[in-house]
Amino acid sequence: MKARRQWAAVLLAALAVLQGCAISPATAPDAPAPEAGSEAVSPAAEAEPFQRGVASWYGPRFHGRRTASGERFDMNALTAAHPSLPFGTRVTVRSLVNGREVTVRINDRGPFAPGRIIDLSHAAARVIGLLGPGVKRVALTLAEPDPG
């Protein structure tokens, strides 16, 4: 558990550098600043979400194109686009509608639609039942780093 807290602190420091700002004492020290259209969530518990908001998905139109990280987008992989989390960050996305969860790896930037906090790959959207409605309220939680 201590290693997870340390990993989260390193991730947040990297996020602050990437955003070109420092984490102020007024900001929760264990959570990145929320994006527009999302609600900040207190990180009191270790498994508590750091961000809540609306998720969407992308797939066939972008399949095979380069992502912001430089890798090719695979709509069948469990990946996602987030506006500011470092590439390679693993995030658990939980649907606030049906409770289903999926863990994804951040490999792209987005979403670019106002009020959305994350864009899931087609495969990840299928896991949490997002394909039909297209958008859904979700909560994001940092996942353990990939052991590989």
State which residues form the domain around 136.
2-142
Q: Answer yes or no: is 69 within a domain.
A: yes
What's the domain count of the chain?
1
CATH of the domain at 82: 2.40.40.10
pLDDT value of position 5: 52
Strand pairing partners for 57? 120
Q: Answer yes or no: is 147 within a domain.
A: no
Q: Answer yes or no: is 148 within a domain.
A: no
> CA-CA distance, 63 to 46, in Å (whole number)?
35
Three-state DSSP string of 33-62:
CCCCCCEECCCCCCCCCCEEEEEEEECHHH
CB atoms within 10 A of CB 3: 9
pTM over 0.75: no
pLDDT tens-digit profile, the chain (148 residues): 455 555 555 454 444 433 433 332 233 333 344 445 555 443 333 568 999 999 999 988 999 999 999 999 999 999 999 999 999 999 999 999 999 999 999 999 999 999 999 999 999 999 999 998 899 999 999 998 766 6
> CA-CA distance, 88 to 70, in Å (whole number)?
12
